[in-house]
Amino acid sequence: MAIKQISVFLENKPGRLAELTDILSEHKINIRALSLADTKDFGILRIIVDDPDKTASILQEVECIFTVALVLAAAIPDEPGSLSRILHILAENDINLEYTYAFITRKEEYAYMILRVEDNETTSAVLTDHGFKLVSQEELFSL
Amino acid sequence: MERYYNPEMETMPVAEIKELQSERLKKQVAHVYSNVPYYKNLMDEAGIKPSDIKGVDDLHKLPFTYKKHLRDTYPYGLFAVPMREVIRLHASSGTTGKQIVVGYTKEDLDIWDEIVARQLVAVGANEDDIIHVAYGYGLFTGGLGLHGGAQRLGASTIPVSSGNTKRQITILQDFGSTVLCCTPSYAAYLSETLYSMGLTSDDIHLKAGIFGAEAWTDQMRHDIEESLGIKAYDIYGLTEIMGPGVSYECSAQSGMHVNEDHFIMETIDPNTGEVLPEGTQGELVFSCITKRAFPLLRYRTRDIGVAFRETCSCGRTFIKMSKPRGRTDDMITIRGVNVFPSQIEAVLMELGYPSHYQIIVDRINNTDTMNVNVEMLPEQFSDKVSVLEGREQQLTEALKSLLGIYVKVHLVAPRTIVRSEGKAIRVIDNRKLF
């Protein structure tokens, strides 16, 4: 039940992020969610796109440093307390969250959390048991 | 069963080697004093006459020859015979200033051919072998040096020279080359191209390789041996002394035997000029005791290494030298510590990074700082910050362990470090020290 996330290495210099987004827009890639982790020297841009396979081959062609990771996209009710609830469930089940970020869509009921964990299968099982809905790659397109 | 091209010389008892060297040195000093006014002046200034040199033990009395002397006497000022006796000229790349020009008489070329033949036999080659010489032919001594030795041996010599890689691979397959001679980086490139053509080492017939003219690490040796299915041997030389073949690796693959019947090697402290005992790392210095046209005495190579004499499993009695470990002229001093970029390169390669890096030296608030930018390979990237930081940390620690000082490592994207046609620009020193 995992979805593909693209991470790109960016040197921490002005214009680098813009260079990358130019490439994506040239090829009409639609970004659905974005997060940028920064350190002193470099940034890791993480994006959820409509077509991860096409994006990967574009990045390969322009010789960008990138990787494709499988992450979980969990739907949570778009109301106060939802986020706390899911996080507590992960903690109680000893699931370490490497990183996370959110995105919302035009649908008003749910907000979506991208979760990067060690073991997607175990985590999916835990979340499903607690009544959380996980979004698949195909469903993501329609959101 | 070990074979030698010249068993009499290559297995000569050490005491006899020293006697032979002493005799030859005396003659050579007299020859140089009478025929090379520039070096005669150096000797006169040092108060040394040829008669003061009675043998190898007096070698240290002679003045050093520096690269600067070769530049100052461009082109023929250090030649010891009339030009009509010089039948070959070579020159080195001269990345700073004028080229270094060297000359050879017919006898000098015979010596050169012979010492290279010794290397070929040491890697197991004979008249039945097909030698693929992919060092550049021209002013550079690599191509013609290996060519002369291969021909002297009587092997089938293919003067391929460098470049045109796809054609090289066709030749390797169709001509049946058995020994590959080129730079280690070209060997790596050949093997990459081979595999990219859908071929493997099973499609070629190589059994050995003789690689030199640039520094290379054990990891590179291992990779070349694996990918080409050969044993990879090290050869050392420099244009000023002869070309390739000054020293050669044998089946023991632990150090290179110096051709002591033609060259006397010393190791010295690069700062004081003091001669160091065997086993102590220092700058390698060579004296040519048989060449006639361009015989340098106590030439400072600027290569850092170690000399050691041991009973070698190959049976050769010639003294050995380690692979050069750095250059005195690449050397930079950071917070009082001597740092050789080539040592840093070795660490990067051991840890799996390609050799595109740059060292930036600054002085901030009167303290020297060193930052090393290292290009990452695509497969080394991760979506996790902790993994990348871990890599930088690993590199920083490895360098701290090597150098004894802390230098910050920054991973950068591929091709962000400027490539240059010739020698790479490894160090950018922003301190205005002079």
Which domains, and CATH codes, for chain A? Answer: 3-69 (3.30.2130.10), 71-142 (3.30.70.260)
What's the pLDDT at B221? 92
A2 interaction partners in chain B (CB closer than 8 Å): none
Residue B231 belongs to a domain with what CATH number? 3.40.50.12780
* Spatial separation of the C-alpha atoms in residues B220 and B67, rounded to whole Å: 30
Nearest to B385 among A37, A63, A66 (CB): A37
Q: Which chain B residues are closer than 8 Å to A99 by Cβ?
A: 384-385
Residue finishing a domain among B299, B327, B355: B327
User: Taking 80 as the threshold, does the pLDDT of residue B338 lie above it?
Assistant: no
Could you give the CA distance from residue A97 to residue A90 in angstroms, rounded to a whole number? 8
Same domain, B199 and B105: yes
H/E stretch holding B149: helix B141-153
Task: State whether B400 and B286 are in the same domain.
Answer: no
Q: Nearest to residue B329, comparing CAs of B118, B68, B91?
A: B68
**Is there a single domain that holds both residue B219 and residue B323?**
yes
**Are residues B309 and B338 both part of a single domain?**
no
Of all residues in chain B, the one with the smallest CA distance to A62 is B414
Compare CB distances from A11 to B385, B389, B413 and report the shortest one's residue: B413
Do B351 and B277 fall within a single domain?
no
Helix (H) or strand (E) holding B249: strand B243-249
Last residue of a domain, one of B305, B327, B349: B327
Q: To the nearest whole angstrom, how far is the Cα of A64 from the nearest Cα of chain B?
A: 8
B360: chain A residues, CB-CB within 8 Å = none
**How far apart, in whole angstroms, are the C-alpha atoms of residue A142 and residue A106?**
11
Q: How many domains does chain B have?
A: 2
Supply the DSSP symbol for A5. E
Peptide bond into B7 cis (omega under 30): no
Residues B262 and B401 in one domain: no
B198 lies in the same domain as B116: yes
Which pLDDT band holds residue B321 (cuts at 50, 70, 90)?
A: very high
For residue B202, what are the domain limits?
Answer: 1-327
Residue B123's pLDDT band (cuts 50, 70, 90): very high
Domain assignment of residue B422, yes or no: yes
Whether residue B95 has pLDDT greater than 50: no
pLDDT band with cut points at 50, 70 and 90 for residue B336? low
Amino acid (1-letter code) at residue B406 = Y
d(CA B7, CA B200): 37
B381 contacts A66? CB cut-off 8 A: yes
Judgement on whether residues B41 and B184 belong to the same structural domain of the protein: yes
Looking at B284, B307, B327, the residue that finishes a domain is: B327
Q: Which of B385, B392, B413 is facing A65, going by the closest CB pair?
A: B413
Q: pLDDT (tens digit, 9 = 90+) per residue, A32-90? A: 899 999 888 889 999 999 899 999 999 999 888 999 999 999 999 988 999 999 999 99
The nearest alpha carbon in chain A to B389 belongs to A39
Which CATH number covers residue B344? Answer: 3.30.300.30
> Pick from B378, B411, B415: which is nearest to A42 by CB?
B411
Using 50, 70 and 90 to split pLDDT, how confident is the model at B330? Answer: confident
User: Chain B 393-432, CB below 8 Å of chain A: which residues?
Assistant: 410-416
Q: What separation in angstroms does the CA of B103 have from each of B79, B100, B116, B199, B390? A: 7, 10, 17, 42, 53
Q: Test B413 with A9 for CB contact under 8 angstroms.
A: yes
- Show which of residues 182-201 on chain B sit within 8 Å of chain A, judged by CB atoms: none
pTM summary value: 0.66
pLDDT digits (tens, 9 = 90+) for B221-243: 999 999 999 999 999 999 999 99
Residue B99 has pLDDT above 70, yes or no: yes
Which residues have a Cβ under 8 Å from the Cβ of B372 and sit 6 or more positions away? B344, B357, B358, B359, B360, B395, B399, B407, B408, B409, B410
Q: What is the pLDDT of residues B362-411, one digit of tens each?
A: 987 767 889 999 998 888 999 999 999 999 999 999 998 887 788 899 99
Phi-psi category of residue B300: left, alpha or beta, with phi > 0 → left and psi -120 to 50 → alpha: beta
Across the interface, of A5, A9, A63, the residue whose CB is closest to B381 is: A9
State the complex-level ipTM.
0.84
Q: List the single residue in A with minimal CA-CA distance to B373.
A: A41
In a domain, B434, yes or no: no
Whole-angstrom distance, CA of residue B261 vs CA of residue B10: 9
pLDDT tens digits, residue range B61-93?
Answer: 999 999 889 989 999 999 999 999 999 999 986
What percentage of chain A carries pLDDT values higher than 70? 100
